[in-house]
Amino acid sequence: MSHECIDTNVIVRFLVETPKTIEAQFKGVFSFFEKLESGACIATLPDIVLFQTYFVLTSHYGVPGPEAAGQLAQIIKFKGIILAEKNITLECLALLQHTKTDIVDAWIIAYSKFKKVSAVYSFDKGFIPHGIRLLKVE
């Protein structure tokens, strides 16, 4: 069974526009996401698209990181969303909502939790409070 992918611009339009202000060519985005939420439509959300959406929301649109992470977490929970590592991604977004962690570190922490990774090659001491040892780079 094949699934179509969702691109960053579709998610961004859904999150930053309103039905009253959106341009006519993009209006279908709201009914599309209703279908995704109910499972009437199924689409794959690639990890890279999720991360780019977070970046665009926070850097271009000025959405605070915790808010952007919360919005994306809600979309991931839609019945029609296919995501390769849904549990890891939801944990990553939860970290972004509740800690001062950047998105890549949040992903590594979440990945480590679910995949039982106990150490990382890094100079970033922010991993230590999450039970991840730093490995010496030599």
- Alpha-carbon gap, residue 85 to 114, rounded angstroms: 10
In angstroms, what is the C-alpha Rg of the chain? 17
In 3D, which of 56, 45, 51, 69 has the Cα closest to residue 12? 56
User: What is the block-wise mean pLDDT of the chain (138 residues), using blocks of 10 residues?
Assistant: 85 94 91 96 95 97 97 97 94 95 94 95 94 95
**What is the model's pLDDT at position 110?**
96
**What is the model's pLDDT at position 41?**
94
Q: Decide: pTM greater than 0.85.
A: yes
CB neighbour burial string for 108-121, b if at least 16 within 10 angstroms, e if fewer: bbbbbbeeeeeebe
In this structure, the chain runs to a length of 138
Residue 55 CB contacts under 8 Å (≥ 6 apart), including other chains: 103
Tell me the torsion sign for CA atoms 71, 72, 76, 80. positive
- By the 8 A CB rule, do 91 and 114 touch? yes
**What is the model's pLDDT at position 2?**
56
- Alpha-carbon gap, residue 59 to 48, rounded angstroms: 16
Q: How many CB atoms lie within 10 A of CB 86?
A: 13
